[in-house]
């Protein structure tokens, strides 16, 4: 592995551990949605790592489809999170759930129907793999991504404005600024630069997902009395079982 893929795998691993820490601390709806958000961010990073490592260009397109679908889930579940974070009932209507989830279902179907819906061709350069984008479809994809992110921050800002105490405002402040850093740099390297013809730095986007994942994790855990020792033990046991399973699969 090269430094790019190593960083991507490390980012996905650290994000997943933070997600498990939050989920094992309290299994409420907010934490579950947060964990799903992290799952898609981790799959995005892992997909890009395998894209970089893949030597067959035909397979590389399928892998690219995978990480573009994974990236779709990030704004979807961030929007969901923005609607329920710090809400007393912690739920939204089934109609709104459907409206939020429907785009990821439709986009996934499009990728299954046409593997070239975003990427027409993979090309080898001296620095790695370059791509030829389907510009119209990519523009629609970008507009969708930006729209969901904008709606998410609109919801978070409304929550911040109506927050009744300093604790809630601090939680929301961590989430807004931490995720803004991740989305800003992630979109520069993985949405805007590719559209301008620069695919060389595509691996950098997922690295900034740590800012999003860590800020939300800190906000959730900072103001809740989680039993850190119990959670850490559960996570270590979980990682151990995963390690044993991988060893069994590799030995077979």
Residue range 71-129, pLDDT digits in tens: 999 999 999 999 988 776 656 777 777 878 888 888 888 888 888 899 999 998 888 89
Q: Both tokens of residue 176?
A: 């807004």
Average pLDDT score over the chain = 84
Pair 86, 168: CB distance under 8 Å: yes
- Judge whether residue 33 has pLDDT over 80: yes
Distance of CA 130 to the CA centre of its chain: 23
192-217 mean pLDDT: 91
Q: What is the pLDDT of residue 65?
A: 92
Pair 5, 202: CB distance under 8 Å: no
Beta bridge partners of 131: 122
Q: What is the pLDDT of residue 17?
A: 80
User: Which conformational region is residue 197 in: left (phi greater than 0), alpha (psi within -120 to 50 degrees), or beta?
Assistant: left
Q: What is the pLDDT of residue 233?
A: 57
Q: Containing H/E element for 217? A: helix 209-222
Residue written as token pair 């604790």: 167
Q: How confident is the model at residue 226 (pLDDT cuts 50, 70, 90)?
A: very low
Q: How confident is the model at residue 225 (pLDDT cuts 50, 70, 90)?
A: very low
């Amino acid at each position: 592995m090269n430094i790019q893929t190593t960083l991507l795998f490390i980012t996905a691993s650290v994000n997943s551990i933070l997600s498990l820490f939050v989920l094992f601390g309290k299994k409420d709806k907010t934490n579950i949605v947060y964990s799903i958000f992290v799952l898609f961010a981790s799959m995005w990073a892992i997909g890009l790592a395998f894209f970089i490592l893949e030597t067959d260009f035909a397979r590389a397109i399928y892998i690219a489809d995978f990480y573009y679908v994974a990236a779709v889930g990030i704004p979807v579940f961030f929007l969901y999170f923005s609607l329920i974070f710090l809400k007393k009932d912690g739920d939204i209507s089934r109609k709104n759930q459907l409206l939020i989830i429907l785009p990821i279902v439709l986009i996934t179907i499009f990728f299954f129907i046409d593997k070239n819906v975003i990427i027409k061709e993979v090309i080898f350069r001296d620095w790695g793999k370059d791509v030829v984008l389907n510009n119209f479809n990519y523009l629609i994809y970008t507009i969708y991504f930006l729209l969901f992110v904008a709606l998410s921050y609109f919801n978070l800002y409304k929550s911040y404005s109506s927050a009744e105490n300093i604790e809630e405002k601090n939680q929301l402040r961590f989430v807004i600024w931490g995720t803004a850093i991740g989305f800003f740099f992630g979109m520069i390297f993985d949405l805007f630069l590719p559209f301008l013809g620069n695919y060389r730095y595509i691996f950098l986007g997922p690295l900034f997902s740590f800012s999003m994942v860590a800020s939300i994790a800190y906000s959730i855990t900072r103001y809740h009395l989680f039993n850190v020792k119990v959670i850490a033990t559960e996570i270590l046991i979980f990682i151990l079982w995963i390690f044993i399973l991988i060893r069994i699969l590799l030995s077979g």
